[in-house]
Amino acid sequence: MPERQLSNKILEKLPTMVAFIDEKRRYRYINKAYCQFLNLKKADILGRFVSDVLDDELYARVKLRHDKVFESGKVSSFSEAVTFRDGRKCFLDIRYIPELDESKKMVGLYAVMEDVTEYYASVDLMRTIHDIIHKRGRRIDPVSIDELLKFGVEYLDVDIGTASSIIDGVYTIEWIQTAKLEFDAGTQLPLGTTYCSVVLKENELVHTNEADKDARFKNHKSFLTYGLQSYIGTPLVINDVVWGVLGFARKTARREAFSELEIEMVRMMGTAVETVIAEQAVRHDLIRQRDDMAAIA
């Protein structure tokens, strides 16, 4: 197999986006990942000018980068926030690599791009969760659990978020955020009537976006009673013992299933809630010991 054919075959299988743009700023090669990212077919891109594919504002920024590489003949690496004509926004790590002919004249450049949107989003999520738990001037406080639940309900686009304890088969809502379902903190229910029983059975994070089609949920008492289609929940473990469950639910199915980023976010929030509960327990224990010693004295 000729070397160029082999190279193209490898590029087609890469998740990294690769394009070759000639000196007239026309696309001369794009791999499959690049087409998928732009949501276009190769026939819609090859031979066209970059300015015809990107919106005006984005192309104005890209052109400055291209000009710099064509003038200097040097590699350029940078990160860019990109908005496409269809409204999509993303973060890209981009590398422009000049292509020179035998006379050292620049004939084009390779654009190599990685979609790092989820990475930046995950960093932002971690920062938000950390800021909620460790607000300046405030010790770790149970109030932060309400704030975490509110953030989770809004971010996940669900109807309800709860942090609930489970003691002797009784499910108790300790913290709750909801504007659409009639539940209050302190509400107690038999564990078997809540989706938390599924979480405990699996002993790990569980999620569904079609409870009516999910064997774990479609005949569950909670689904038959409340009709919650979307759910994601994770165990809360304190000192190696399951204390309860952090869960989020919605009556109707979400437009899309829970993403990997959202799943990891719920895991991070679970860890944060565990930290707050454990800190609260230690504080109460210290207060009790202080009071006991005062009584003895």
Rounded distance between C-alpha atoms, residue 252 and residue 42, angstroms: 38
pLDDT for position 207:
97
Residue found by looking up tokens 């920062």 in the block: 127
pLDDT for position 231:
97
Tens-place pLDDT, residues 97-107: 999 888 888 99
Looking at residues 50-79, what average pLDDT do you find? 88
Phi, then psi, of 144 in degrees rounded to 5: -65, -25
**Contacts with 98 (C-beta within 8 Å, 6 or more apart), sequence order:** 69, 70, 73, 74, 75, 106, 108, 109
**DSSP H or E segment with residue 18:** strand 17-22
Check if the beta carbon of residue 270 is closer than 8 Å to that of residue 149. no
Looking at residues 147-166, what average pLDDT do you find? 92
Residue 253 has pLDDT above 60, yes or no: yes
pLDDT band at 4 (very low <50, low <70, confident <90, very high): low
Residue found by looking up tokens 């000018």 in the block: 49
Tens-place pLDDT, residues 115-155: 888 777 777 888 888 787 776 455 556 788 899 999 999 99
What are the E-state strand segments in 4-157? 17-22, 27-30, 76-83, 89-100, 106-115
pLDDT for position 6:
52
Residue 1 has pLDDT above 60, yes or no: no
Bigger pLDDT: 3 vs 134: 134
